Every structure is written in C-alpha cells, then in structure tokens.
Chain A
Amino acid sequence: MRRPNSSLRNTAREVEVFRRRSLLAALIVLVLIGVLAGRLVYLQIFEHDVFITRSDNNRIRVEPLPPNRGLIYDREHRILAENRPTYNLTMVREQASEVDQTLKRLIRILDLPDAMYDTLQSRSRQRQRPFEPALLLSDLTEDQIARIAVNRYRLPGVEVEAQLMRYYPDSRIMAHVLGYVGRISQADEKRIDSGNYAGTHYIGKTGIERFYEKALHGTAGVRRVETNARGRILREISRTPPKPGKDLTLTIDKDLQEFGAQLLKGKRGAIVAIDPRNGDILAMVSTPGYDTNQFVNGISSKAYQALQNDTDLPLYNRAVRGQYPPASTVKPYMALDGLETGVMNPSDTIYDPGYYKLPNGDRKYHNWLRWGHGRVDMHRAIVVSNDTYFYHLAHELGIDRIAPFMHKFGFGEDHSLDVWGASDGLMPSREWKRARYNKVWYPGETLSAGIGQGYWLATPLQMATAMTVLANRGHWVRPHLAKKVGDREVEPPFSDTPPDVELKNPDWWHLVIDAMQDVADKTQATGPGREYTMAAKSGTAQVFTLNKNQKYNAEELKEHLRDHALFSAFAPVKNPQIAVAVVVENAGWGSKNAGPVVRKLLDYWLLPRLKQEDRPGLLDQPVQESTQDVHD
C-alpha cells in the first residue's frame, strides 16, 4: 500500500482496501481453522490409540483382591493353622464430620486412656487421601466391637473392618513343623511375584508355611474400578475373584506331636517319628518350642532378642537342623556293611579286652566298658553295643567302604520331600576331608566313624529315616510332611527317591533286626511289659565342643558338656508302623534317658492300633535275666 497522494477522502478506495484485507483475513481464518482441524485430526485419529490408553489408565485402577491363605490340618483333620478374623477400627476422615469430637467420643465409649487421644489423632491422619480408611485400633475385643456397634450413629466415618490373620492354635508344639508367616520383607519381595502378592501382607517364612507357600497362598484376584482424578472409587468395572490358597493336610498327628512334646518337656531335644510304610512323618518335635503367633504381626525386637539369647535355643529346629554324632545307633548299619562286603560273617567273633589297637599302633581305642565284653560275635556286639567289635569292623572295612554304604541309608544327605531347612548332616569320607581340611584321612578316624563318632553328624530326621529303611528291609520311602495339598494326595513313589538298599543275602536284615529286637527287650526302659515287638538301638553322643555363641557359665557349661542321649527304634518288627529317633541333649546315656521317651511314644501310638499278629505274647515271657544291662 502506498500513501495516498490525494488529500480527498476516497471512499471507493477505502472500501476496496477493506474488502481486500477482509478477504485476506477470511483466508487466514480458513487456514488457521484448517490448522486447528489438522491438530484435531492428529490427536483424534493418529494419536487416538495413545490417548485412549492414557485415558483408560487415568480412570481405571486395578485393585488386588488378596486370596485367603489355605488352612493347615493334621492327619486327622484337626486344625493346625487357621485364619482368624481380627477386627480393626478404621476411620474415613472425609466421612467424619468432626474428627476431634468423634475421637473424643471414641475414647469415652471404649474407656481408653485420655492419652490415647494424640495417638488416635495422628493415626487418623496417616492416610493422605481423606476418603481412605485410616487404621485407628487393631484386634478389637468382642466387647469393644459391641460398644462400637451400639454407638455407631454417634461415630460417623468410623468402621469396624474384618481382616484375616494367621493363627496357630497349638503354636508351641507345632512351631518347628509349621513355621510361621510374617510380614513380607524386602528380601521376600525379590522371590515373589509382586502382582500375586499385592494386597497380601503375610508370607510363609519358615517350615511348612514356607515350603508350601505357593499352594497355601493361592492366586490373587483383581478388580478394576473406575476412579475420579482424586482417586475415589466410583464403580466397579470388573472383578476376577481370587483363588483361595489350598488347604494342607499334614502327615503329622497332632496328638502324637503333643505327646512327644510332653515327653521332652523341660528338656532340649528332638523326636522324629515316621511311618515306614509310606514315609509319613507322624511327629516332628523340637523342644523347647516357641509361640509363632507373635511372629505373625511382627515380633517386638525385645521379645525376639529374648528368644535369640535363650541358651536353650528355642528357635533352633533340632529335629531337622540339629546335627549330632549318631553314635552307637549306627552299629546295625555298620554290621550290615560288614556282612554285605563280606568282611565279617555273623558267627565271626573277636576278643574284646576293653580296647582296640590298630595293627601298627600303640594307641588304645577303648570300649565303653573298660574291662571289655570278652569274646563277642555280631549279635552280641549289637546287643551290648560293643565298641571294640565295631572298631575292628570299621578298620577292616575302611572309610571308603563305610561312607558310600551309609549314604544308601540317607546319611550325609537330606532326602526328605518337603521338610524346609533340613540339614544334610555329615558323612565323612576321605574326599570330604581333603576338600574340607586339605588333610589325609587317618585310620584312627575310621575307628571313630565306626561307632558313629568323630566327624559323623546326623539329624534326628536322618536317624529316623535310616531306621525307616532298616525297618523296611531296605525299601526306601521319602519322609514327608504333607499328606494332601488341596485335594491332591501326596503319595509315594516320589521322584528322586533313593534306590532301595539291596543286600546279597536278604537274611542279613533279619540277623541285624534280631539283634536290635534283643536290644529293645533287654533295655530296662523299653523291655518290660511291652505288648508289641520292637527293634531298637541306643546311642550316647559325646559332646566335644562348645557352641561358639554360648557364653561361659560354669553351671551351664557342665550341663552342656554332658553326652547327648540317642535312641532309635521301630515297631512292630514284622510289619513296622512307626520308626522313631529321639535325641535328648546333654541327658547322658541313651538307653536310660532317651529310651523311655521312645517306649512311651510307641505305646501311645501303637497300643490303640495293634492287631493280634503284632502281639507276640512277650508279656508272658519274663525278661531275660542278665548280669549286665545292655548299654551303648
């Protein structure tokens, strides 16, 4: 546009200019509207998928629905672990018109100390969003619930909320079998599918609760809810219900377990009882026990310290983690080894002067009876638990023939199916010693091994397992705790079951079992008045070393240096129904101190279950007179 030359008003030209400019403006408007339209096409057509997803994410929240944990029963369907509804008091701040007033009323209604006011006040504010329930009080009593119910109308926004919490009715005797659940820790987070555990507060920490965690837990459900921008739930869109965890039926017999715990009351010890026919673990006792319920909602550090500092080590599962020298309880297996390898014939005898000397050595390896048992054959060696005979046998066999044979009975390895945290024990061998200490194996160490001492360590579970194999005349069943997972029976054969122990001459089983029957008959604690046949072997394990974390205390030290009493047995001899191993720590002689436990336990279990064929009429025969009591 050039400046007009004329000073006159040129209306036509003005109109012309305006029309041109407004036409230009109209075109610009068109273009810009086109730009807007293009933008909308871009957002609504090309980017539509992105935004529809974003919009769904915006409004739809996925909420987990935690599954109910499976219950645990014993073999007779008696409850061992249940979910107890606990009642918590919550408050939705948004719904409580006057929070202060309501809290004050609450304190009056529940007779709480006035000092609670500040606590409740801060708890009511713990949730950031005013429509989320804040936890005021947990585990309400019936009385409290009733009082709240009556006064509900005066307590706007206050709710009683039910929550399921694990509860162990027989916590102390079942502690080591069941283990416990606890709050999910950071370490747990790493091993779980976080999606499946969203909304779940507890997870199996030890024992059965841990081993069968997956089955017990179940599968979390989800519900999709529509929320507004402030997160308030407006409606439920869909719901996938959770699959509750499977109930677990254990092989444990609660009564037997309880009885076993009674027998070991006040002592440190362990009992493992197995049904040799199928490997069912009937009882697995470790004393002292502890109350697992206090672990469920988080044990106080003070209480936990107390448990940890307890010199009786209640947290320690002696039945499956306690490693003891199996001592003389291994003599039957040693005898079998001797027979199988042909080193000894049943009728071979040795002369026992009270000690054994290695062929080129001066050192005397003493029999427990200092003056010796004189001439002993295999039967007598087992019955009187003659050490010299087994020193000789061990020396003849050598560790290279002992260790592999003992492996066949489960020593040195955990063969249990589902016992969480079971130790392997230790079956020493030449290779093991080289790997462990980089030292050669000495012949003297073979002698120690021959009587179940030295490096040899076994758990009560392993001792009972070995006894099971012996009772079955070599047939293996893996010991297990679960009888049913949900509706599915847990039954042998299990995979990885060790091969049956086969002897060149099956009669050798009877030879050894015969001797063990003699042991049972001649032992004061197990012999007299028994209505069923029993094969047994006692043991007394020497305590060589002091536990590192034990403090020096003259009284305690003395006690803790005493021998452990061991006793394993099975019965009835012909068709065994139960094999058992008992360890009583620092109790002294096995036959005297662990034997009665076994006898009472077997009486308790077998007497109601005895069939006529199992009753040999032993009662009619007097107990054989013997100048000396059988000994380990």
Chain B
Amino acid sequence: MKETWSRWIRRSRRRYQRFDWATLNIDPWLLLMLLLIMAGGLMVLYSAGGESLLLVKAQALRLLLAITAMLVIAQVPPRLMMSLAWVFYLGVTLMLLAVDVIGAHAMGAQRWLEIPGLFRFQPSELMKLAMPMMLASYLARRQLPPGWMDLIFCVLLIIVPVGLIADQPDLGTSMLVSASAVFVVLLAGLSWRVVGVCALLVAAAMPLMWFNMHDYQQQRVLTFLNPESDPLGTGWNIIQSKTAIGSGGLWGKGWMQGTQSQLEFLPERHTDFIVAVLGEEFGLVGMTLLLFAYLILIWRGLYMAAQAPDTFGRLAGGSIVLTFFVYVFVNVGMVSGLLPIVGVPLPLISFGGTSSVTLLAGFGILMAVFGHRKMSPR
C-alpha cells in the first residue's frame, strides 16, 4: 500500500516534469502570480462591495473571460502580431475618432463606443496594447538604437491617439498610453542624451499643459498639494483613503471589518480606491504581500521579455510589463496620497471589465513572445 503511494507520487512527479508548459505557451510563474493576485482581489472586492456576491460573481466572470483571452492570445505567433500591429493601431485610432464623434457620454466624459443591444467598450483601453505593439513593430524594422528621425516619427504615432484620449477627457489612460510608448522607445536604447533633451522639453511644456487642463483636473492637482483645502469636495477622497489605510495599522482591522470602507466613507471603494480597503482590512502586512506579488510578477515579466527572440517581442513585452507597473505605482501612490488623483485602477483587483481584459491580454502577448522563443531561430 505504502509502496503504491510512493510509486504513484514518483510517477506523477515525472509526468509533471515531462509536461511542457511551453508547448501551451503558458508561463506557470506568471499564471500563478496572476491567479493569486486575482483571488486576493476578489476577496477584497467582496468586502469592498458591501458583501455583494453579485459584484464578485460579475468580476470573476470577467476575469475568467480575460484569462481565456490571455491564453488564446498566447497562442498567436509574435510575427503575426508584429505584422498586424499597423492594422490594430489604425483601427483603434479610428475608433477613438469615432468616440469623439458619436461616443456615449457618462459622468461628463465621452469614452465609450456603444454597439446597441450588445455592449459598450472603451477604445482607449485597446490603445494601451496597440500603442506598444505599433512602436515595437516600427522600431523592430529600424536600426537600433533609434535616431532622431525615428524618434520624431514615434512622437507623431503617439501624439494622435494620446491627444484623442486626453480630449475625452481621460487623463489616466492617456498617461498610461504615453508611458507604454515611452517605455518602448527607452527599451529600444534611445540615447540618454536625447532622453535628457526630451525631459527638458517636457518640463518646459508643463505650464502649457497646465493651462490646457480641465478645471477639475487642475483642481485635482491643487487638492493633491493641499487636500485639507476642500475636505468635503475633491479633498474628501484622499483624506478618507489615507484615513482608511492609516487606521489599518500593521495587521489591519480584519476582513470585512474596515469601518472606513464598510461605512461608506471611502468613495469608489470597489474601483479605483479598492487598495484602501485592502490597507484598512489587512494592514501593512496585506499591503506588503500585494506589493511583493506585483514585484515578482513584474520581475518575471521583464525576464520573459528579455528572453524574447526578436526585437518586437522584447520591446512590446517589456513595455507592457513596465506599463503594468505604472498602473500599480500610480494607483497605490494616489490612494496613499503620494500622487494626485488620476483615474487609474489597481490592476487585476479593481472592479471593472475592460481594464482586466486589456491587462491580461497584455500578459497574453508576453506569454506568446516568451513561449514562441524556441520556434524561432536565435
């Protein structure tokens, strides 16, 4: 009996070792971290949503769809992605234009395209993938590191969709899209001297940006600088979220015990501010675990990108991973009061369909790039 058991275990282990995840283009590490974060996220969401199983079910369903999408995308050969990047980019840009003309309004912004009776979605979300793919595809065909002419062309590619998104207005998304573009160019090896010059130019353009911002956007920045100036208005969010996190302490108040969040002091507690719920209920320990999980995810992602056989895969994959980090940093930074409030969700945890799909699709691209490395010549 005992021997049968140990034999069975040994055999299973061998079978497992023989099982090649790579044939399915799935990275088990990445998948594990994603699933861990998502599982924890659903738990927090149950608490943040006022113990509504409905909300959790909806989110779980979306995540399931997103995972499926990720696994499907992982099977697409990177070469195909590279050659179709143009089409994807142009298509999404056209959709952004369409949003500008016929898009649906919600909450004072025009971000959605509606297919009546079916669903509505935000084309700007797709741009988060289209942009790095486009640039990676472009630069992969050029000699690297990119020169001034490449840079100017890239800026042109960036400016149109980002301008359209910023006009919706959606500061968060336009920022993330720009970031993903910048990462591609930086990873491609843009000379630091050029980077320095560009940074100076951007700094010089800051005042111009300020005057082009919407009133509420300006207000957000001002509020960030002095949240107490408007404690019941724009400052309310940041005061309440800091209070939630701070009152969590080392161990937190316990799952579903967060008074700040359960008593509705915390706004947007199941979307952009969900991390405050986590901070309140699970304390510093919970937050550290989350950040650690993200860190491992990002490191693994960068490693995978570095293993990519071609320039497109490296650049697109690397950019996607770093953009993912921007999500994390901006969201946690704003909720904890380090950064101004920008509408950026906490990846894989905030309630919301499109962002999860986009993020996991991005990881799908990464998996495809990593998984297809053996098939292409080195």
Q: Give chain B residues whose Cβ lies under 8 Å from the Cβ of A26.
A: 298-299, 302
The 8 Å CB contact of A229, one of B190, B264, B311, is: B264
Closest to A226 in B: B263
Q: A3 in the interface, Cβ–Cβ < 8 Å?
A: yes
Please give, as numbers and ranges, the residues of chain A lying within 8 Å of B291 by CB-CB distance. Answer: 33, 36-37, 40
Q: Is the CB of A44 within 8 A of B250?
A: yes
The interface residues of chain B lying within 8 Å CB-to-CB of A41 are: 284
A40 nearest CB across to chain B (Å): 5
**Chain A residues with CB under 8 A of B244:** 55
Q: Contact check, A14 vs B189: say whether CB atoms are below 8 A apart.
A: yes
Instruction: With both chains docked as a complex, state the minimum distance between the C-beta of A96 and any C-beta of chain B, in angstroms.
Output: 23
From B7-15, B77-85, B332-340, the one touching the partner chain is B332-340
B179-226 contacts to A (CB < 8 Å): 183, 186-192
Interchain CB contact (< 8 A) of A22 among B283, B294, B302 = B302
CB atoms of B306 and A19 under 8 A apart: yes
Majority SS at the chain B contact face: helix
B295 within 8 A of A: yes
Beyond A3-B147, A33-B295, whether A227 also contacts B263 by CB under 8 A is: yes
Residues in B313-350 with C-beta less than 8 Å from chain A: 314-315, 318, 322, 325, 328-329, 332-333, 336-338
A7 vs chain B, min Cβ distance (A): 7
Q: Determine the main DSSP class of A at the interface with B.
A: helix
User: Judging by beta carbons under 8 Å apart, are A14 and B144 in contact?
Assistant: yes
A569–B33 CA distance with the chains assembled, in angstroms = 102
A504 at the interface (CB under 8 A from B): no
- The minimal Cβ–Cβ distance linking A389 to chain B, given in whole angstroms, is 84
Complex CA–CA separation, A4 to B150 (angstroms): 14
Q: Indicate if the CB atoms of B189 and A18 lie closer than 8 Å.
A: yes
B247 near A22: Cβ-Cβ < 8 Å: no
A147 within 8 A of B: no
| B145 proximity list for chain A (CB < 8 A) | 1, 3-4, 17
Beta-carbon contact of B336 and A39 below 8 Å: yes
The reply to whether the CB of B143 lies closer than 8 angstroms to some CB of chain A is yes
CA distance A25 to B305 in the complex (A): 12
With a cutoff of 8 Å between Cβ atoms, the chain B residues found around residue A30 in the complex are 295
Number of A-B residue pairs at CB separation under 8 A: 151
- The residue on A at minimum CB distance from B145 is A1
Per-position binary interface string of chain A over residues 46-70, scored 1 when its CB falls under 8 Å from any chain B CB and 0 otherwise: 0110111011101100000000000
> Which residue of the partner chain A has the closest CB to B190?
A1
A234 to B264, CA, bound (A): 11
- Cross-chain contact B325 with A54 (CB below 8 angstroms): no
Which residues of chain B come closer than 8 Å to A230, judged between CB atoms?
Answer: 264
**A115 CB-CB contact with B under 8 Å:** no
Q: How far is the CA of A54 from the CA of B249 in the complex (A)?
A: 13
Write the A1-34 contact mask toward B (1 if CB under 8 angstroms, else 0). Answer: 1111001010100110111011001100110110
Set of chain B residues within 8 Å of A55, measured between Cβ atoms = 243-244, 246-247, 259-260
Contact: A39 with B338, CB < 8 Å?
Answer: yes
List of A residues within 8 angstroms of B259 by Cβ? 55-56, 58-59, 226
Q: In angstroms, how far is the closest chain A Cβ from the Cβ of B21?
A: 22
Q: Are B243 and A229 in contact (CB under 8 A)?
A: no
Q: Is the CB of B298 within 8 A of A59?
A: no
- C-alpha spacing A43/B287, complex, angstroms: 12
Contacts of A45 in B (CB 8 A): 249-250, 284
Q: Chain B residues near A1: list those with CB within 8 A.
A: 145, 189-192
**B299: A residues at CB distance < 8 A:** 26, 29
A228–B314 contact, CB under 8 A? no
A52 CB contacts on chain B under 8 angstroms: 246-247, 249
Whether A22 lies near B306 (C-beta < 8 A) is: yes
B49 contacts partner chain A, Cβ-Cβ < 8 Å: no
Contacting residues, chain A, for B298 (C-beta < 8 A): 26, 29
Q: Which of B283, B288, B302 contacts A37 (CB 8 A)?
A: B288
User: Does A35 make an interface contact (CB < 8 A)?
Assistant: yes
Closest CB in chain B relative to A425 CB, distance in Å: 59
> Which of chain B's residues have a CB closer than 8 A to the CB of A54?
243, 246-247
The closest CB in chain B to the CB of A47 belongs to B246
Q: Measured between alpha carbons, how far is A497 from B302 in the docked complex, in Å?
A: 95
B337 proximity list for chain A (CB < 8 A): 39, 43
Closest to B247 in A: A55
Decide if A50 touches B263 in the complex (CB within 8 Å): no
Residues in B neighbouring A4, C-beta threshold 8 A: 143-145
- Minimum CB–CB distance from B315 to chain A (whole Å) comes to 8
Contacts of A47 in B (CB 8 A): 246
Question: Is there contact, CB below 8 Å, between B187 and A18?
Answer: yes
- Which B residues have a C-beta under 8 Å from some C-beta of A? 143-145, 147, 183, 186-192, 240, 242-250, 259-260, 263-265, 279, 283-284, 287-288, 291, 294-295, 298-299, 302, 305-306, 311, 314-315, 318, 322, 325, 328-329, 332-333, 336-338
Q: List 15 A-B contacts (CB under 8 A).
A: A15-B306, A18-B305, A25-B322, A32-B329, A45-B250, A48-B250, A51-B243, A51-B245, A51-B246, A52-B247, A52-B249, A56-B247, A58-B240, A226-B263, A229-B263
Query: Which residues of A are interface residues toward B (Cβ below 8 A)?
Result: 1-4, 7, 9, 11, 14-15, 17-19, 21-22, 25-26, 29-30, 32-33, 35-37, 39-41, 43-45, 47-48, 50-52, 54-56, 58-59, 226-230, 234
Q: A22-B305, A48-B246, A228-B265 are in contact. List 7 more A-B contacts (CB 8 A).
A: A11-B311, A18-B305, A37-B291, A41-B284, A47-B246, A55-B243, A55-B259
For the complex of A and B, the 4 pairs showing the least CB-CB separation, nearest first, are A51-B246, A55-B247, A17-B189, A228-B263
